Amino acid sequence: MAQFLDNFLEQDKENIAPLYGKADVEFVKGEGSYLFDTKGNKFLDFVAGIAVNALGYQNAGIKQAVIDQLNHFNHISNLFPNYPQIELAKALREVTGFDKVFFCNSGTEANEGCIKMARKYFNRKGETNRQKIITFVNSFHGRTYAALSATGQPALREGFGNMPGDFVHVAWNDVAALKAEVNADTCAIMFESLAAEGGVMTLSKEMVETINSLQKEFGCLVIVDEVQAGTGRLGTFLGFEKYGLKPDLVSMAKGIGGGLPLGVVLMRQAIADQLKAGDHGTTFGGNPLACAAGLSVVKQVCATGFLDNVKARSEQLKAGLKALVAKYSFAKEVRGDGLILGIALDESMPVGNVVAAARNEKLMVLSAKGNVLRMLPPLNVSEAECNEALAKLDVALAMANK
């Protein structure tokens, strides 16, 4: 069925709560790394649903997995064990080495789950003093109350009343500030393996070493938010593997569902041992359709050579972005890792102007905090598509500079 409306943006404004600034573009179909609008324009999509469409649009494996599952059942609740959940949990355990899996629907829920499980773990062990969770300035962990409290962006909390307490934010990569906060009352240190929304910032080697040693010294938990950086996006299945961290709890979402709403908490056995039926739960979490899609994603991302493509495309894009930084004086530096890449711009060039200019060139990119241009291509993006993106971005930067 054709998905046509007279004017998408006007009808969106009329019907949808005004919580997003939406672009005036009318997409009706996706195919691989491309999106098509009502006029037949073809856009190269380096937004990928904000890192959700890990395998692009119309991925045959995901489609087939969902159709197969629809022929069994679409939902039966968490009162009954079911095949897609169990198979996905087994695959995740095998590829990550974690011991138990909790399924939910989104990134914020996965982080809520991690936070609740971390506090419950210490509570059941009788260490009720361990409440404090340390996160980072400009981090993003989600919009529900605890995840919002964890998020290091005070503006997002404004006007929403009292927040869950005992969250402390320290500056990204500020080793001294972190050391000053962690003590025997610390429940957890929580952070993204790559701070994507906050400005495409990578962890320093010194910070990784500090987190590892504080975890050992004080017995606090380490929670890594892999919602955006996980599922292969940094060239390893989970981002932290690349940096040598040893988290106790991990949150996943976005790419793991391949476009279906799926969130995941991975935990060590010691944490699972402290949990009881009824401690936490969700109606939709681990929905069989989403888990069937997730299993297809895991199989494809873990197939031989897949992550090599992520690494090769990352190097290709980094080199291309470096050349653009050398060419345009308002472009300061290349940021990021894997396929979360960006360019930090100086104040003379608002990132929104570049995003709009890129859209004119039929390239979809997005921004991150701190005037940073961000690119999140699908993980199976091709060499030719990366060259196309770089050429389009070159024109967009020139046009934005006029």
Enumerate binding residues for ligand PLP (CB under 6 A): 50, 106-108, 111, 140-142, 192, 196-197, 225, 227-228, 253
Rounded least distance, CB 156 to ligand PLP, Å? 11
Rounded least distance, CB 323 to ligand PLP, Å? 28
Rounded least distance, CB 105 to ligand PLP, Å? 8
Between residues 197 and 385, which has the closer beta carbon with respect to ligand PLP? 197
DSSP per-residue codes, 199-241? TSEEPPHHHHHHHHHHHHHH--EEEEE-TTTTTTTTSSSSHHH
Between residues 251 and 331, which has the closer beta carbon with respect to ligand PLP? 251
**CA 196, CA 89: separation in Å to the nearest integer?**
26
Rounded least distance, CB 184 to ligand PLP, Å? 28
**CA 50, CA 197: separation in Å to the nearest integer?**
10
Q: What is the DSSP letter of 157?
A: G
Rounded least distance, CB 106 to ligand PLP, Å? 4
Rounded least distance, CB 260 to ligand PLP, Å? 12
How much is the CA Rg of the chain, to the nearest whole Å? 21
Between residues 207 and 324, which has the closer beta carbon with respect to ligand PLP? 207
Residue nearest to ligand PLP (CB): 107
**CA 344, CA 219: separation in Å to the nearest integer?**
37
* CA nearest neighbour of 289 among 35, 103, 37, 129: 103
Between residues 151 and 331, which has the closer beta carbon with respect to ligand PLP? 151
Contact 169, 154 (CB under 8 A): no
Rounded least distance, CB 387 to ligand PLP, Å? 27
Between residues 32 and 107, which has the closer beta carbon with respect to ligand PLP? 107
Between residues 364 and 397, which has the closer beta carbon with respect to ligand PLP? 364
Between residues 222 and 325, which has the closer beta carbon with respect to ligand PLP? 222
**CA 112, CA 114: separation in Å to the nearest integer?**
6
The backbone torsions φ and ψ at residue 165, rounded to the nearest 5 degrees and listed phi first, read -90, -175
**CA 73, CA 287: separation in Å to the nearest integer?**
10
* CA nearest neighbour of 123 among 258, 317, 276: 276
